[in-house]
């Protein structure tokens, strides 16, 4: 069998999910398959035909999960409107949700059609692939399957299904749903999540308090990692926040080019709620909503909700410490402290609007870029100042990406497929992301002409990104 399913979510109260059936697809076509993920899941590629991957041949009855969420600050009851859980795959002691996205209508679809376009699914595939290779905790994409139908969004495109893999799709919004729609299940559900994601807490006194603390810390780690690589999620609704600190739902997301904390990547985010610079404050806001959903678990405690609030009050200190530690590593500073120079460097970034990724390469290897911003006296001064305490190449090399999927390159690859049915540029991007994000590799290490040609053919060199500062 291709998957080894043991779906424990079905043992929970039936209010938390509904039975679902993937839409019929006459001739599903696998466009791209993640071979390394197959290996990690112990899957044999020969068993993974398009009928099984698209949900046409079912190993068990799929479900759609119910949840709630604050979307741009407004609370609503939701559910998997275009996603279905095929099952929980168990391999080598690990448990993984295998989910279809774009698989048709579910009981939670409302007026939606449950479909997805091929460009949106290929985009999620490549961004999750990049994040994995950049060392960010993330959902992973197993495959994208074209369905042979047409899907109308801003324009009409071929339809597609993504097979997404996560430790689970339990989110802050799942707890919000349980707390408001299935109130008698909160303790049982929380115990289930602890057993599944934080089993070391199951027999501890005060396990619910520790559970909240660990979820908060794993989320902080995730967002600090986003800021390390310049990633902007774009839609940090509470229903898009994983209880296990996994990045997921790559909709209007992107990597930042020029440093601008006000950068957003959602056409409806007119206030900058989910901008790059707001991700810290929005995470805290979301965690407060998560804490509120756990409040009934503390009603019988002698200290009540105050215990949880005390943990939440530590957010700023924890985030600040982790963020500055990350920035010290980006600047190659081995010692603790040095907060002042980190802040001065960030002030320079804000003022200069230099390319975020390239700046750290230029700091490490002066002369890498022919750009006036790196010839300024301000940049020379701050680099000279850093050279006395930092710029350790070994530390910087482990922390800073050399390559990111530049947004315009991703769009060019997607357009080429939509216009010509040609996936070669998209696959070349994946090749570069796989090879060059290995921090032990550099272009000059490659002797294989095919690898060099793949790199050069998509122009993914460490040059300045397109556009004006």
Instruction: Answer yes or no: is 354 within a domain.
Output: yes
Within-domain flag for 197: no
- Is there a single domain that holds both residue 446 and residue 336? no
Answer yes or no: is 319 within a domain: no
Residue ending a domain, among 399, 424, 444, is: 399
Pair (34, 112) in one structural domain: yes
Q: What's the CA gap between 58 and 47, in Å, rounded? A: 13
Domain check: are 439 and 363 in the same one?
no
For residues 36 and 129, membership in a common domain is answered with yes
Provide the residue range defining the domain that includes 447.
Answer: 407-457
Q: Does residue 188 lie within any of the structural domains? A: no
CA distance 160 to 146: 4
Shared-domain flag, residues 419 and 388:
no
Rounded Cα distance between 218 and 6, Å, is 26
How many structural domains compose the chain? 3
Nearest to 78 by CA among 117, 124, 104, 112: 112
Asked if the structure places residue 233 within a domain, the reply is no
Residue 45: inside a domain, yes or no? yes
Residue-wise pLDDT for 329-383, tens only, equals 999 999 988 999 999 999 999 999 999 999 999 999 999 999 999 999 999 999 9
Pairwise CA distance, residues 36 & 45, whole Å: 11
Same domain for 128 and 111? yes
Q: Is residue 308 part of a domain?
A: no
Considering the domain architecture, whether residues 148 and 106 belong to the same structural domain is answered as: yes
Convert the pLDDT of each residue in 76-117 to its tens digit. Answer: 999 999 999 999 999 999 999 999 999 999 999 999 999 999
Per the domain annotation, does 358 fall within a domain?
yes
Q: Do both 329 and 395 map to the same domain? A: yes
Is 452 in the same domain as 333? no
pTM here? 0.93
In SS3 terms, 38-53 reads as HHHCCCCHHHCCHHHH
Structure tokens at 246: 């996994």
Answer with the one of 140, 166, 192 that is the final residue of a domain: 166
Catalytic residue among 239, 262, 320, 347: 239
Whether residue 239 lies in the annotated active site: yes
The answer on 435 and 337 residing in a single domain is no
What's the sign of the alpha-carbon dihedral 209, 213, 216, 222? negative
Q: Is 158 helix (H, G, I), strand (E, B) or coil?
A: strand
Domain finish residue from 371, 399, 427: 399
Per-residue model confidence as pLDDT tens digits over 403-425: 899 999 999 999 999 999 999 99
C-alpha–C-alpha distance, residues 4 and 27, integer Å: 25
């Amino acid at each position: 069998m291709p998957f080894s399913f043991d779906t424990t979510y079905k043992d929970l109260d039936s209010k938390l999910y509904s039975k679902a059936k993937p839409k019929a697809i006459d001739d599903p076509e696998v466009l791209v398959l993640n071979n390394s993920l197959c290996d990690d899941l112990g899957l044999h590629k020969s068993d993974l035909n398009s009928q099984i991957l698209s949900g046409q041949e079912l190993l068990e009855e799929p479900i759609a999960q119910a949840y709630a969420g604050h979307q741009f600050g407004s609370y609503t009851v939701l559910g998997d409107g275009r996603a279905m859980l095929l099952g929980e795959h168990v391999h080598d002691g690990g448990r993984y949700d295998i989910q279809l996205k774009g698989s048709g209508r579910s009981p939670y679809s409302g007026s939606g059609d449950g479909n997805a376009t091929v460009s949106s699914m290929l985009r999620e595939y490549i961004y999750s692939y990049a994040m994995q290779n950049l060392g960010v905790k993330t959902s992973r994409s197993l495959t994208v399957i074209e369905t042979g139908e047409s899907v109308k969004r801003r324009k009409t495109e071929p339809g597609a299904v993504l097979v997404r893999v996560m430790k689970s799709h339990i989110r802050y919004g799942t707890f919000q749903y349980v707390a408001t729609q299935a109130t008698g299940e909160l303790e049982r559900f929380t115990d289930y999540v602890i057993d599944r994601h934080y089993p070391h807490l199951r027999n501890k006194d005060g396990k619910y308090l520790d559970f909240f603390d660990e979820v908060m810390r794993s989320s902080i780690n995730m967002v600090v990692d986003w800021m390390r690589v310049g990633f902007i999620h774009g839609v940090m609704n509470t229903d898009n926040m994983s209880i296990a600190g996994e990045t997921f739902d790559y909709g209007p997301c992107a990597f930042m080019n020029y440093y601008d904390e006000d950068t957003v990547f959602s056409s409806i985010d007119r206030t900058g709620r989910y901008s790059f610079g707001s991700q810290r404050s929005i995470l805290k806001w979301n965690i407060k909503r998560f804490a509120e959903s756990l409040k009934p678990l503390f009603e019988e405690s002698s200290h009540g909700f105050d215990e949880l609030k005390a943990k939440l009050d530590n957010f700023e200190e924890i985030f600040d410490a982790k963020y500055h530690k990350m920035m010290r590593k980006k600047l190659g500073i081995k010692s603790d402290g040095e907060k002042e120079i980190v802040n001065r460097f960030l002030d320079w970034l804000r003022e200069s609007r230099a390319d975020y990724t390239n700046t750290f390469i230029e700091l490490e290897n002066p002369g890498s870029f022919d750009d006036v911003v790196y010839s300024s006296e301000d940049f020379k001064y701050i680099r000279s100042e850093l050279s006395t305490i930092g710029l350790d190449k070994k530390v910087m090399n482990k922390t800073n990406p050399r390559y990111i999927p530049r947004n315009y390159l991703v769009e060019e690859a997607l357009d080429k497929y939509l216009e010509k049915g040609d996936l070669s540029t998209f696959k070349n991007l994946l090749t570069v992301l796989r090879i060059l994000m290995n921090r032990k590799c550099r272009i000059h290490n490659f002797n294989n002409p095919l690898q060099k040609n793949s790199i050069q053919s998509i122009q993914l060199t460490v040059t300045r990104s397109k556009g004006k500062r």
